[in-house]
């Protein structure tokens, strides 16, 4: 359980509905887990390329695989990530290093 997963949802306009559906399924699984499970779902938007990406923590691999997300390295720029679903401190938990200013 060490791989992160990334899913490219395409343009900002096209990404809304798929992201909403993924978030609902993620939350159904998240609510069945004990607190501290490590499940987290992050989003990132590349405004230059107009691309929305979702990142699934290793603990959310079951949901990631369901949506054919690709294994990837841990994101390296947490300042560009937003927590879509998971425990409120997930960003600090997975990225304890100080954010670049």
Q: How far is CA 83 from CA 44, 58, 80, in A?
A: 9, 15, 10
What residue has token string 């306009």? Answer: 13
What residue has token string 């798929």? Answer: 18
Do residues 81 and 45 lie in contact, with contact meaning Cβ atoms separated by under 8 Å?
A: no
Distance of alpha carbon 39 from alpha carbon 49, whole angstroms: 28
The dihedral over CA atoms of 54, 2, 37, 27, expressed in degrees to the nearest 10, equals: 20
Give the residue extent of every domain in the chain.
4-87
Distance of alpha carbon 76 from alpha carbon 33, whole angstroms: 27
Distance of alpha carbon 15 from alpha carbon 28, whole angstroms: 20
pLDDT truncated to tens, each residue of the chain (101 aa)?
A: 479 999 999 887 888 889 989 999 998 888 887 877 889 999 999 888 899 999 999 999 999 999 999 999 998 876 788 898 988 888 888 888 765 54
């Amino acid at each position: 359980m060490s791989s992160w997963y990334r899913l490219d949802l395409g343009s900002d306009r096209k990404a809304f509905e798929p992201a909403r559906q993924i978030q609902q399924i993620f939350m159904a699984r998240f609510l069945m887990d004990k607190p501290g499970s490590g499940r987290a779902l992050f989003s990132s938007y590349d405004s230059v390329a107009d691309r929305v990406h979702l990142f699934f923590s290793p603990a959310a691999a079951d949901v990631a695989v369901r949506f054919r997300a690709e294994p990837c390295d841990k994101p390296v720029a947490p300042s560009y990530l937003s927590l879509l679903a998971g425990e409120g401190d997930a960003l600090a938990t997975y990225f304890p290093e100080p954010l670049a200013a």
